[in-house]
Amino acid sequence: MSITSDLIRGHTETIILAQLLIKDSYGYEINKAIQEKTSNQYELKEATLYSAFRRLEQAGFILSYWGDETTGARRRYYSITTLGKAAYTSNKKDWEEAKELIDKLI
Amino acid sequence: MNSKIRSKVEMLFEEAPKTKKAFELKEELIVNLTEKYNDLVDLGKSPEDAYNSVIASIGDVDELIRGLKQSDVLNIEREEKERKKTAMVVAGAVGAYILSVILLILLTAVFRVDGVIAVLVLLLGVGSTTCVLIYHFMSKPSYLKADETLVEEFKEWKQGRTQRNQLSKSLISIMWTLIVAIYLLISFQFSIWAYSWIIFILGAVIEQIIKLIFDMRSMKEQ
């Protein structure tokens, strides 16, 4: 499992972008969706997730805003930008190419 | 248990810079961890187990704090620049005030210029210097509220207060310069040095009145 984690780690940003393509979301919801999609086999550490948010935000791939929950604490939501969508498409293409190559090699 | 998560996160963030960004990140983390904790308890985990797995899922906080420190450097540089500019403007203004008074003394005592003209020159100097001062403090980047939390409101309120303090300070300094000007003028004109010093007592009274007006205004706002 740890090797798999290392392999996936390089794609953390793209994974987050993929989730935000569906809808605006917040940290825990994104992580929950990742867990559900992988049938509980994969989950991001909080520190990894929020570091990735900061990097994506600095790069202009995502924007953040505070939700308007009336009860309880307020969540910070993220939404993908046009630049982020372009980055996602190009990362996805890179991955498809790499997958094809590696399938041929191993 | 929620407060237990909060205090754990506070502890992890002890090394982090005390900035708005760090504060927001901390709040974001606490909100998300609490939600996760509640979900785990709803799924049937014991509070103790749920807490432990929530804390275990945080991972390496150093990575986050390093990121915060990097962005903090930019902020410090900007603030440093702003402070230097303020220091220069204030030093220049104080210099200009003093020069205006010296000019007045020179004009009346040495060059024997008419008192009224000399005072006009002084007022012109004092007035333009004050304009520069007020413009600088009014145009200083004000703290923009990023969200509706109490902390943000406090920061904004605090800044509004210091800006008002600056205004009352400028007014008081103008008033004193004027007092000195009037004192010299009437003393030279009418040679009443024996009585004219009373104007300084008057000045102290006016200063207290200005302060009182500003205090009352800020009390009303609260």
pLDDT value, residue B148: 45
Please state the separation of Cα B153 from the chain's center in Å.
15
User: What are the beta bridge partners of residue A25?
Assistant: A78
Domain residue extents for chain A? 2-105
Q: A75 and chain B: CB distance < 8 Å anywhere? A: yes
Which of B27, B60, B67 is nearest residue A54 as measured by Cβ atoms?
B67
* Nearest residue on chain B to A28, alpha-carbon basis: B32
- Class of residue A100 by CB neighbours under 10 A (exposed 0-12, middle 13-18, buried 19+): exposed
Contact B28/A75, CB-based, under 8 Å? yes
Contact A51/B67, CB-based, under 8 Å? yes
Contact A50/B36, CB-based, under 8 Å? no
pLDDT value, residue B72: 57
Q: A69 and chain B: CB distance < 8 Å anywhere? A: no
Share of chain A above pLDDT 70, in %: 94
What single-letter amino acid sits at B136? H
Contact A76/B61, CB-based, under 8 Å? no
pLDDT-derived band at A101 (thresholds 50, 70, 90) equals very high
pLDDT value, residue B144: 47
Contact B64/A26, CB-based, under 8 Å? no
Q: Phi and psi of A77, rounded to 5°?
A: -95, 155
pLDDT value, residue B221: 64
Structure tokens at B46: 């014991």
Among B111, B100, B72, B114, smallest CA distance to B181 is for: B100
Please give the CATH architecture assigned to the domain spanning A2-105. Orthogonal Bundle (1.10)
Which of B34, B36, B63 is nearest residue A51 as measured by Cβ atoms?
B63
- Class of residue A76 by CB neighbours under 10 A (exposed 0-12, middle 13-18, buried 19+): buried
How close A44 comes to chain B (CA, Å)? Answer: 8
Residue B148: CB partners within 8 Å, gap ≥ 6? Answer: A66
Cβ contacts of B34 on chain A, cutoff 8 Å: 73
Rounded to whole angstroms, the Cα distance separating A17 from A12 reads 9
Q: What is the mean pLDDT of each run of 10 residues along chain B (222 residues)?
A: 82 83 87 90 90 88 78 65 86 88 84 80 85 81 50 63 76 86 83 84 87 80 62
pLDDT value, residue B117: 82
* Nearest residue on chain A to B32, alpha-carbon basis: A28
Among A77, A25, A53, smallest CA distance to B147 is for: A77
Contact B61/A47, CB-based, under 8 Å? yes
Rounded to whole angstroms, the Cα distance separating A81 from A62 reads 5
How close A38 comes to chain B (CA, Å)? Answer: 17
Q: Are A70 and A6 in contact (CB under 8 A)?
A: no
Residue range A14-55, pLDDT digits in tens: 999 999 999 999 999 999 999 999 888 888 888 889 989 988
Q: Which residue has the higher pLDDT, A1 or A95?
A: A95
What single-letter amino acid sits at B210? I
Which of B58, B62, B147 is nearest residue A46 as measured by Cβ atoms?
B58
Rounded to whole angstroms, the Cα distance separating A26 from B83 reads 37
Cβ contacts of B67 on chain A, cutoff 8 Å: 51, 54-55
- Class of residue B206 by CB neighbours under 10 A (exposed 0-12, middle 13-18, buried 19+): middle
* Nearest residue on chain A to B33, alpha-carbon basis: A28
pLDDT value, residue B155: 64
Task: Give the best residue of B15, B61, B64 to mutate against chain A (max A CB count within 10 A).
Answer: B64
Residue B221: CB partners within 8 Å, gap ≥ 6? Answer: none
The DSSP output letter for A65 is E
The CA–CA distances, whole Å, from B160 to B76, B79, B141, B155, B156 equal: 21, 18, 12, 9, 6
Number of residues in chain A: 106
pLDDT value, residue B161: 66
Query: What does the mean pLDDT of chain A come to?
Result: 88
The CA–CA distances, whole Å, from B127 to A22, A63, B211 equal: 61, 46, 21
Residue B59: CB partners within 8 Å, gap ≥ 6? Answer: A45, A46, A47, A48
